Amino acid sequence: MKKIIVNGGKRLSGEISVSGSKNAALPIIFACILTKGISEIENLPDIGDVKIALSLLESFGALIEREGNKTMIDTRRLRYVDPDVDLVKKIRASTYLLGACLSRFGRCPVMSFGGCNFSLRPIDMHIDAFMKLGARMDGDALVCDSPHGSVIEFRKASVGATVNAVLLAATADGETVISGCAVEPHIDSLISFLNSCGASITRHDREIRISGRSLHGGSISVIGDMIEAGSYLALSLMTDGNVRILKSPLFDMKASLDAFSSLGAKICFSDGSLYGSIDDGRYFSVTTAPYPGFPTDLQPLLAPLMAHQRGGEITDNVWPTRFGYLSSLSPFGVKSTVNDNRALIFKSEIRNGISSAPDLRGGMAALICALAAEGQSEIYSAETILRGYEGLEEKLCALGADIKIKKL
Ligand code: EPZ
């Protein structure tokens, strides 16, 4: 267990560079299980979830070496073992073991997968897709002797189900068409990586077409993390600072930047750096939607800003119950109410306090409150934030924050 001690109230300014996207890196790491070769992944973020994903690959016999900003993953000689349940239950991305292991080994137990527990996180669409591709249940495991092409129609956009269907279909015998797929940037980066491994995958709008192939090693550079970029922009605005966010994936952030602008922020970007300021904030309502809509992962980071400005409303149509984090913001004075899938955030006096990180993005929202509030604050379960924000302490200190992360 770790805690962050914050001496807040400072106007943060300076430059930070966005790291590789957690949600793009994780599908790529598990996709290496499909390949019989050596893959080179650049810009892999050094965060908790990635470390756990790499450990799961090593348990199958993958050889992993870091050379500067490159990670070489050798999956030429893998043998099946039951995945370590203690690792699996720590991250949501361990669901990708299902598609990857069915493809490589023909079996995978359906385990209790981890991840932020702000909602029930069903995998019915994953399982339906596997069945369409030739898998069946054998006790508590999925087995698939010879995956074959199929037509898969998702009833709603699901990042995880899309990733898993692509992972099994990529090496299946024949053609697969997936309709109703998720179209987040990290889906396209997975497709690019698999195609660099010899796969034959195309996406047009919400339809993915796959012609199964056997795969060799490939290479990719992980795209920048749009949620990290949005988190630091919210922090800069919250402290009335001047943080320049380099390497922001601006093209992926249209809906996010529109939301900041509607809140009253003046958003600027020049020579690849993103920055902003707020002179006169506005009451603002935002509704989340699958990409290219406003990302659900950024809604917790807007709540402190709404409270600090003139209040606002957040409706989450992706995770209707994703408002538990508001109880972690109330020690900092954030006043809110929740009704069904909508939260009302009231204009509030932000003050220092003691809280904990309930999940990854809610934990970062609590840290933003602590950094904005005058005086000393503490946030427990800080390891939850380190799961998804690379170099958090270094980046914040570079911006003038007075923080310490302590092991308990
Ligand atoms: C991914 O989760 C992300 N996690 C989440 O980010 C993100 O919030 C989410 O996509 C939506 O963008 C990773 O990439 C590791 P979904 P995932 O399947 O794949 C329903 C973060 O903070 N659904 O797209 O689990 C589901 O209940 C994390 O980085 C089914 O009903 O999300 C939800 O309402 C938090 N049945 C909706 O679809 C299924 O079989 C979208 O979920 C699968 C999903």
Give yes or no: 101 in active site: no
Q: How far apart are CA 175 and CA 170, in angstroms?
A: 9
121 lines ligand 1 (CB under 6 A): yes
Ligand 1, from 97, 120, 123, 159: best to mutate by most atoms within 8 Å of Cβ? 159
Mean pLDDT (the chain, rounded): 97
Does residue 89 contact residue 81 with C-beta atoms inside 8 Å? no
Residue-wise pLDDT for 179-213, tens only, equals: 999 999 999 999 999 999 999 999 999 999 999 99
Residue 156 CB less than 6 A away from ligand 1:
yes
Q: Are residues 335 and 288 in the same domain?
A: yes
List phi, psi (to 5°) of 394: -60, -45
Range of the domain at 146: 22-221
Of all protein residues, the one whose alpha carbon is nearest to atom 16 of ligand 1 is 158
The answer to whether 209 and 176 are in contact (CB under 8 A) is yes
Q: How many domains does the chain have?
A: 2
Q: Are residues 201 and 63 in the same domain?
A: yes
| 221 pLDDT tier (thresholds 50, 70, 90) | very high
Q: Same domain for 233 and 200?
A: no
User: Would you say the CB of residue 244 lies under 6 angstroms from ligand 1?
Assistant: no
Based on the fold, state whether residues 52 and 181 are members of the same structural domain: yes
What is the total residue count of the chain?
408
- Considering the candidates 116, 144, 181, 197, report the single residue annotated as catalytic: 116
Ligand 1 atom closest to residue 227's alpha carbon, by position in its atom list: 29
Among residues 221, 254, 275, the one where a domain terminates is 221
Which of 204, 221, 238 is the C-terminal boundary of a domain? 221
One domain, residues 151 and 180:
yes
Tell me if 272 CB under 6 Å of ligand 1. no
Question: In terms of domains, do 241 and 337 share one?
Answer: yes
Q: Of 169, 202, 221, which residue is a domain's last? A: 221
Structure tokens belonging to residue 120: 């029930």
Statement to judge: residues 88 and 39 lie in one domain: yes
- Mutation test of ligand 1: which of 153, 318, 325, 360 has the most ligand atoms closer than 8 Å to its C-beta? 318
Q: What are phi and psi of 283, to 5 degrees?
A: -65, 140
In this structure, are 8 and 110 located in the same domain?
no
pLDDT of res. 272: 76
User: According to the model, what pLDDT value does residue 238 have?
Assistant: 97
In this predicted structure, the answer to whether residue 341 has a pLDDT above a threshold of 90 is yes
| 372 shares a domain with 264 | yes
CA–centroid distance, 66 to ligand 1, in Å, is 29
Pairwise CA distance, residues 330 & 64, whole Å: 43
Q: Is 49 in the pocket of ligand 1 (CB under 6 A)?
A: no
Atom of ligand 1 nearest to the CA of 359: 22
Q: What is the pLDDT of residue 115?
A: 82
Residues 201 and 262 in one domain: no
pLDDT beyond 90 at 270: no
Residues 209, 234, single domain; the answer is no
pLDDT, average across residues 284-302: 98
Residues 285 and 350 in one domain: yes
CATH number of the domain within which 239 lies: 3.65.10.10
Q: What's CA 267's distance to the chain center, in Å?
A: 23
Confidence grade of residue 222 (pLDDT, cut at 50, 70, 90): very high
Question: pLDDT tens, 67-101?
Answer: 999 999 999 999 999 999 999 999 999 999 999 99
Q: What percent of the chain stands above pLDDT 70? A: 100
